[in-house]
């Protein structure tokens, strides 16, 4: 019998279930004697021995279901080598449970932090295959992550809904988009929804440029402006700060986020009313879009093939629309950033989008 463990870790997104379904269907189709173990609540379940056996029926009807049927949790990689509150060695505990459950391999679905821990487990001798999950699309080694396009759809819809009220009242609207330290989600949602100003972490903004873009629209008779602002966007001044000094500034900031700080300055300097909209965790929720269902099914099916061929220590990625195995050692700890000089940025600027630079 082949025994495979499934584990979903980090922030949830719309296509975790669809991807697990893809892996499971491929395994059930090709392997007669297969048992799938669902490890509950991510790495926490692997540490503390929480799991349940999954049946073929568990994977029925979940292609369009968001979230994850086995739960997830955030377990910071930097704490993995530190004992828990009771002195337990976390890495040793995960290895022990892997061996206790007689797993042939572990299928891990997650983002950057998840992949760091997955690579650690690989280095500890476990058979690991990972799948690229994140609404941020910032995983190195793959052109696309599942969950990203669904989040783009939601963020774009949020900005779409703002247009009419912004135009009616002649207001400046800032829509704050998720993405941590990268701007893929804000960039795509901003272009898709016709945002006038797009601010992303990779291109520090000059407030004078932002104000100039708003004033230019007003002079053209356009009495409203839409800004798509990444939660990790930084001014040129903040971008020059050391990591330590920037963290200190964040602690002392009187505003809840960069969008509110930016909004206050725009209102003061332009005299226009400014409103902030934060779609927040709605960007992670709901049913996966058809595009994500397709790539999740493809990635899952490919993962099933790699398991059957005992090809471990890899992330299943997408390059030029082809599914490829990417060594985990090449993925862990690396971010895929937006290149400020990339073609998509140049094209967006040609459309008149201001990036604040």
**Residue 101 structure tokens:** 């459950």
Nearest C-alpha neighbor of 215 from the set 273, 274, 272: 272
Q: Do 2-147+288-331 and 151-284 share a fold?
A: yes
Residue 207: pLDDT band with limits 50, 70, 90:
very high
Check pLDDT > 90 for residue 246: no
Laid out side by side, the sheet with 2-8 consists of 51-54, 34-39, 2-8, 105-110, 128-132, 314-319, 322-327
Query: DSSP of 101-124, one letter per residue?
Result: TT-SEEEEEE-HHHHHHHHHHHHT
pLDDT of residue 133: 97
pLDDT at 241 over 90: no
* Residue whose structure tokens are 């086995």: 70
68 pLDDT tier (thresholds 50, 70, 90): very high
Class of domain 2-147+288-331: alpha beta
Contact 356/340 with Cβ under 8 angstroms?
no
What is the model's pLDDT at position 255? Answer: 87
Does 224 have pLDDT greater than 90?
A: yes
User: How would residue 170 be classed by pLDDT, with cut points 50, 70 and 90?
Assistant: confident
Which CATH superfamily includes the segment(s) 151-284? Phosphofructokinase domain (3.40.50.460)
Domain ranges of the chain: 2-147+288-331, 151-284
Reply yes or no on whether the pLDDT at 180 is more than 90: no
> What pLDDT sits at residue 244?
84
Q: Given a cut of 90, is residue 245 above it in pLDDT?
A: no
Q: Tell me the average pLDDT across 181-197.
A: 97
- pLDDT confidence of residue 247: 83
CA 74 – CA 41 distance, rounded (Å) = 9
Quick: pLDDT tens for 108-165.
999 999 999 999 999 999 999 999 999 999 999 999 999 999 999 999 999 999 999 9
Residue 268 in this model has a pLDDT that exceeds 90: yes
pLDDT classification of 230: cutoffs 50, 70, 90: very high
The pLDDT value recorded for residue 239 is 84
CB 153 within 8 A of CB 327: no
**What integer best gives the mean pLDDT of the chain?**
95
Task: Please identify every residue annotated as catalytic.
Answer: 136
CA 267 – CA 236 distance, rounded (Å): 20
State the sign of the Cα–Cα–Cα–Cα dihedral 117, 122, 126, 132.
Answer: positive
Q: Across residues 229-242, what is the average pLDDT?
A: 91
Span 300-314, average pLDDT: 97
Residue 168 has pLDDT above 90, yes or no: no
pLDDT digits (tens, 9 = 90+) for 8-63: 999 899 999 999 999 999 999 989 899 999 999 999 999 999 999 999 999 999 99
To which H or E segment does residue 186 belong? helix 184-193
What pLDDT shows up at residue 167? 87
Nearest Cα neighbor of 161 from 255, 267, 275, 256 is: 275
Query: pLDDT band for position 242 (50/70/90)?
Result: confident
């Amino acid at each position: 019998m082949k025994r495979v463990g499934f584990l979903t870790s980090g922030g949830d997104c719309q296509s975790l279930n669809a991807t697990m379904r893809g892996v499971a269907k491929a395994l059930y189709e090709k392997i007669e004697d297969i048992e799938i173990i669902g490890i509950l609540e991510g790495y926490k379940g692997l540490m503390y021995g929480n799991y349940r056996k999954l049946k073929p029926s568990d994977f029925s009807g979940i292609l369009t279901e968001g979230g994850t049927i086995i739960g997830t949790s955030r377990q910071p990689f930097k704490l993995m080598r530190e004992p828990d509150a009771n002195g337990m060695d976390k890495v040793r505990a995960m290895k022990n449970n892997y061996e206790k459950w007689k797993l042939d391999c572990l299928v891990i679905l997650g983002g950057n932090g998840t992949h760091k821990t997955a690579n650690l487990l690989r280095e500890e001798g476990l058979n690991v295959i990972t799948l690229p999950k994140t609404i941020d699309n910032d995983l190195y080694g793959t052109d696309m992550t599942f969950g990203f396009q669904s989040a783009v759809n939601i963020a774009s819809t949020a900005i779409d809904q703002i247009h009419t009220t912004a135009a009616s009242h002649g207001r400046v609207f800032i829509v704050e988009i998720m993405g941590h330290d990268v701007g893929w989600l804000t960039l795509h949602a901003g272009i898709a929804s016709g945002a006038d100003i797009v601010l992303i972490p990779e291109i520090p903004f000059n407030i004078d440029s932002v104000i100039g873009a708003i004033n230019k629209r007003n002079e053209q008779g356009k009495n409203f402006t839409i800004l798509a602002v990444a939660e990790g966007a930084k001014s040129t001044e903040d971008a020059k700060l050391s990591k330590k000094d920037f963290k200190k500034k964040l602690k002392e900031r009187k505003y809840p986020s960069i969008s509110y700080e930016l909004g206050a300055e725009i209102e003061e300097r332009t005299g226009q009313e400014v409103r902030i909209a934060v779609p927040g965790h709605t960007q992670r929720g709901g049913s996966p879009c058809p595009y994500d269902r397709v790539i999740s099914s493809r990635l899952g099916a490919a993962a099933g093939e790699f398991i059957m061929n005992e090809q471990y220590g890899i992330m299943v990625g997408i390059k030029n629309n082809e599914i490829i195995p990417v060594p985990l050692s090449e993925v862990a700890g690396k971010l895929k950033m937006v290149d400020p000089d990339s073609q998509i940025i140049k094209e967006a600027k040609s459309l008149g989008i201001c990036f604040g630079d």
